[in-house]
Amino acid sequence: MRTQVVIVGAGPSGLLLGALLGKAGIDNVILEARSAEYVLGRIRAGVLEQVTVDLLDEVGVGARMHAEGLPHDGIDLCFGGRRHRIDLHALTGKRVMVYGQTEVTHDLMDARKASGQTTVYEAEHVSIHDFDGQRPSVRYRHGGQTHTVEADFIAGCDGFHGVCRASVPHERIALHEKVYPFGWLGLLADVPPLSHELIYVNHDRGFALCSMRSRTRSRYYVQCSLADQVEQWSDQAFWDELRARLPEDAVAHLVTGPSLEKSIAPLRSFVCEPMRFGRLFLAGDAAHIVPPTGAKGLNLAATDVGYLAQGLVSHYKGNGSDLDHYSERCLRRIWRAERFSWWMTSLMHTFPTNGSFDRKVQLAELDYLVNSDAASKALAENYVGLPM
């Protein structure tokens, strides 16, 4: 098989890249190690920046998002038993869209299928070859046979544990990582959200987040130990812990119910530099991870493939400069988002090594943040997303 771009990974970044390239008339093939059902079964957050919304609109998959998504003009920061609203729209003129990553993936999958472009699910033993030369290729097994896709370029959208970054010699990569000493226990339930906007909670017992997927489905999180197991947390224990971290006025409006899903996610910050190796380009979680506190993961992946699509379109029009600067352009935005996500995580969580001084400084920073227009605006600018 021959194509112009072979994309490894059919998550939202790979599917969005395929849609952007297809719109520009660039032939592409997507290979995915898992089944389509498995990909759709992943539970992920979905706070979308305007840049991401615009990219989804650009490829024609925004209709359901605009019909069912929830535009948010602000967020609440809760500390000292009180809620403080950060008015994102008043401070920046922008808002965010709450629309689950699963739904984004579903919309992109449907559009991909309708386009007739090739997607191979359950592609086993994927390996990439000759990405430093002029004729890169990807091999995989499917249906008991070995197949080879020859291409001009390879896009590694296959996540943190994928084969693409792992295929690059170690000496060519600089890896930067920070692992946080706690995780998030998340619970999904078909109950109305506590509030029409997200609530971020700083509490002596640990961080909590009240979020949602729709007007009838809520997603809640509490900070937990990395030693915890999901089986240790009954639904009742989760709800009791969440109540203990919320202010009284919020507890009065909390609706509880049986969990649809519970899981514990560790938190880490990670960046790979550079993001281009010959004719191999990394994008999304293959190149970087952010803690979810800043709601940047999916948005960074979307802007990565936005930059990559721009570069590839320019290349096929005879101008390779955008492609040459792909890594530099991405990393500048990535490091800003990494900084913001690290700062939000440091601000909102309880750290086991912090003493009373650290706790007082944390509360003083929160107090300054909600009472200073300049500080509130800096948070808002980063939360709604910096320009692409």
Residues belonging to the active site: 72, 200, 292, 296, 383
Query: Is residue 201 within 8 Å of 245, Cβ to Cβ?
Result: yes
Q: Which residue has the tokens 């939202």?
A: 12
- Tokens for 233, please give them: 């947390």
- Count CA atoms closer than 13 A to 212's CA, side-chain side: 24
Identify each DSSP E strand in 73-143 by its residue range.
74-79, 82-87, 96-98, 119-120, 124-129, 137-142
Q: Measured between alpha carbons, how far is 202 from 241 in angstroms, rounded to an integer?
A: 13
Query: Is residue 269 within 8 Å of 287, Cβ to Cβ?
Result: no
What sign does the CA torsion over 120, 126, 129, 131 have?
Answer: positive
Work out the angle between the directed axes of helices 356-371 and 373-384 (0-180°, nearest 10): 90
Name which of 19, 286, 274 is nearest 156 in CA terms: 286
Query: Is residue 45 within 8 Å of 38, Cβ to Cβ?
Result: no
Identify each DSSP E strand in the chain by its residue range.
5-8, 28-31, 47-48, 70-72, 74-79, 82-87, 96-98, 119-120, 124-129, 137-142, 145-150, 153-156, 174-189, 199-201, 208-212, 218-224, 259-273, 276-277, 280-282, 288-289
Q: Measured between alpha carbons, how far is 212 from 98 in angstroms, rounded to an integer?
A: 8
Residue type at 258 in one-letter notation: P
